[in-house]
Copies of this chain bind each other. A is one copy, B any other.
Amino acid sequence: MSRQFVVTGHDVPTTPEFSLDDLPGGAGRLDLLARCVTSALVLSHGLREDVRVHLVLADEYTVTFDGGALRNFNPDERSTAARVRNALEEREEAIGHVPVETSPGVSLSRMGFEATVESAAQGGTVVQLHENGDPAVDVDPPTDPVFVLSDHHDFTDAESALLDDVADQRLSLGPKAIHADHAIVVAHNYLDTDRYTSY
């Protein structure tokens, strides 16, 4: 079973002129998006090879990390943010929706939120993770889930409207609203332990 995560970052830069020393500020909470990548991909002893993470950068570009193809991946925020910055340096190479591989397992494409969600949905079933969704414990998980999450902001009206159209489920993973990177960890645990069913 493959798993995909789409995380929409509303404030992150779309050019590489930002400092790795100020990810929360100057880089528009790229620290959070970097942690989402790590949450989605790392295990204690290696990577989750059947997982892809798509970071949507200000509805303009998307950087995809493929756990099956990544090499020399480190779990800290700074090195992940550096890969995003490196990817943005090659943004002129991304023509149409065709992705450019900027390092092994990392690619950039000129796609905003809608195109990215629709592309990911071709390989699975879209699930919106949201603090006001239905409790995940009451729901059977789809095969090949595509979890869509927002950064520290809520989804915009346009994003919500799209998700209303394409998402099969709108789920909450618990009674407390948690950060996107933590929601990814919990979603994995549900799927890993098969607790993602009613009981």
Binding site for B on A (CB under 8 A): 20-21, 23-24, 31-32, 35, 39, 42-45, 74-79, 131, 135, 137, 152, 173-179, 182, 185-186, 188-189, 192-193, 195, 199
Contacts and interface: CB of A to CB of B under 8 A. Distances in A.
17 contacts: A21-B21, A24-B74, A31-B77, A42-B178, A43-B176, A43-B177, A44-B177, A45-B177, A75-B179, A77-B77, A78-B78, A174-B189, A174-B193, A175-B192, A178-B188, A178-B189, A195-B195
A188 B182 CA distance: 10
Given A75-B31, A78-B23, A78-B77, A178 B131 contact: no
A57 B7 CA distance: 34
A100 B192 CA distance: 42
Residue of A74, A77, A175 most packed against chain B (CB within 10 A):
A77
Contact of A32 (B31, B75, B78, B179): B75
